[in-house]
Chains A and B, each alone.
Chain A
Amino acid sequence: MITVEKLVKTVKKKQLLPSRKTILNDVSFRVQEGKVISIIGQNGAGKSTVIKSILGFTQPDSGTLNLRAGTTLGYLPENPYYYDYLTLRELLWFSASSFGMKKVDFPEKAKAAVEQVGMQAELGNRLRTFSKGMTQRAGIAAAIVHDPDLLIFDEPMSGLDPVGRQMVFDLISGLRDRGKTILFCSHVLSDVERLCDEVIIMHAGEVRRHLTREDLVLAQKETEILVPLSAQVKQILTTAEYRFKTFTEHLSLYVETDKINQTLDFLRRKEIPVVNVQSSAVTLEKIFYDVVADKEESCGL
């Protein structure tokens, strides 16, 4: 549905001598139809710039961006601010009518949208009377009122209390079940881990990891076996096509937990001593922190 290829974006630095800062460097990824994809990264990693490039708010220096023709889009900006003199109904009508919705269809669609965000009682109220969390939910309603194919949410959980967060979580989950394609940025890694089919980790304007659900599930089911470091051991493990990581004094071998006995037998047969066996318990959070710390090989993924 979306193809991003080799995207590069630089901006002018506000300095005495003009120079340019790279904010996106060779960013490539694909968003497939019906998938939920999240872009995570620290502040300034380039997440929002990628989204703004997809939406055409900014032009990349090079690279290509393709959005499937005829895709209807719903967008929730980060820290949204809407025309606060409008009522929620007027905001939804603005959103729906700009997508060509007919007046006759609007009441039903508006009702469905506000029900999903739990704001049925607020339709007639002005946005200026809304709290931050309510504004966020109003923004989500405006993004979904026209039933778009693709939803882009920039920090949808931001400013929400735990109840609101759970509501957004359920909403995205429901949209995913209805086959909608969702691309969103978030700092709430536990939600990302539970919701997404794919996770893109960005750091310093680059895509550092593109993980699939299988990668994450596999990472959680892995066990780490520590063996002493030697060229011979390295050779044996490479030949046997084991995934491992080299440390200064040992090698960490990553195997699926249900294959642990098989691996230990193999090591015994090859007379490789085992230093330790431990659950690797690789969570998205751990992978993320490794990427942020600029570790080149995070947990073999």
Chain B
Amino acid sequence: MWPLISVTFLEGVRSRILYGIFLFAIFVVFLSIIFANFFMQDLGKVAVDFNLSAISFAGLLISASLSVNLIAKDLDKRTIYFVLSRPITRVQYVWGKYLGLLTVFLFAYLLLTGISCLVLVYLKSEYVNYFGSFNWLAYLQAVYFDFIKIMVLNSIIIFFGVITTSSFVNLLFTVSTYVVGQSISDVIHFISTGRGQESLAPATAQLITVIKYIVPNFEAFDFKVISAHGMLVSASEFGYFTLYGIVYSVIVLCLAAMIFKKKELL
């Protein structure tokens, strides 16, 4: 599996799209220096939020451009024949591609976090009074959970990648899952209130409850606001959300591997 992980890593780091996204994210991170001046009251919080959003957005863009095409390209250009004629099983292929992607994201997140930290160090030294509640650990905590979110999202991309050979359909399904996953807790909150119970048919409410258990709760990994206030989550919460992301990804990848094992590669 290692050869596949390293080849996937090389694919990621040699991709021109990745560099485009990097440049964009770095541009946005540096833009926070200018933008911070517009918000003199909450400058520190805005800067943190701006930097975290840039990293998160870069993660989503890399997923949409690089990850979505990863398996589709192998199937479309028949590179898969070359790979699977080596002693690489289909299960190893799915895991190898996924873990290779994670190494690309790890590289991207480390780089972007490093740059954003430098920007924050500069802003902190320039506007000392506005970073009273700033906490480096809280900042890194938000980046860490964003990485966990990307981990889950990419397992979903791999899952749809083995089902469909079209990267567009994969993107469509992934975006739909992401949107539902981002808003599902709000919807659940709505139907649990009196107004929601009145306006929704019981069948619809039930369907939403089922979806809640299938689609990952992406909002749970959003720690930007907490981080902007310099707050840290408890160790148990930290462990719970980490475990949730890992277990969800493993289940989705096992399903993907099961499907891919049966896939006809004619």
- Is A81 in contact with chain B by the CB < 8 A criterion? yes
User: What separation, in Å, do the CA atoms of A65 and B264 have in the docked complex?
Assistant: 16
Contact flag A77-B2 (CB < 8 Å), given A49-B266, A52-B265, A98-B87: no
User: What separation, in Å, do the CA atoms of A211 and B11 have in the docked complex?
Assistant: 45
Chain B residue nearest to A100 in the complex (CB)? B87
Q: Mark A54-90, 1 if CB is under 8 A from B, else 0.
A: 0111110000000000000101010111110110001
For A90, what are the chain B residues with a Cβ–Cβ distance below 8 Å? 7, 10
- Find A80's partner among B7, B15, B82, B86 (CB 8 Å cutoff): B82
User: What separation, in Å, do the CA atoms of A100 and B88 have in the docked complex?
Assistant: 11
User: What separation, in Å, do the CA atoms of A271 and B210 have in the docked complex?
Assistant: 92
Contact flag A83-B3 (CB < 8 Å), given A73-B85, A95-B86: no
**Nearest chain B CB to A136's CB is how many angstroms away?**
12
- Are the C-beta atoms of A52 and B79 separated by less than 8 Å? no
Question: Chain B interface residue count: which class?
Answer: 20 to 34
- Is B189 in contact with chain A by the CB < 8 A criterion? no
For A56, what are the chain B residues with a Cβ–Cβ distance below 8 Å? 84
Question: Chain A interface residue count: which class?
Answer: 20 to 34
For A94, what are the chain B residues with a Cβ–Cβ distance below 8 Å? 3, 6-7
- Are the C-beta atoms of B87 and A57 separated by less than 8 Å? no
- Is A99 in contact with chain B by the CB < 8 A criterion? yes
- Are the C-beta atoms of B3 and A98 separated by less than 8 Å? yes
* Residues in B1-22 with C-beta less than 8 Å from chain A: 2-4, 6-7, 10-11, 14-15
Contact flag A57-B265 (CB < 8 Å), given A85-B10, A90-B10, A99-B87: yes
22 of the cross-chain contacts (CB-CB < 8 Å) are A52-B266, A55-B85, A56-B84, A57-B81, A57-B84, A57-B264, A58-B264, A73-B85, A77-B85, A79-B78, A80-B82, A81-B78, A81-B79, A83-B7, A83-B79, A90-B7, A95-B86, A97-B2, A97-B3, A98-B4, A142-B82, A152-B85
Interfacial residues, chain A to chain B (CB-CB below 8 A): 11, 49, 52, 55-59, 73, 75, 77, 79-83, 85-86, 90, 93-95, 97-100, 139, 142, 152
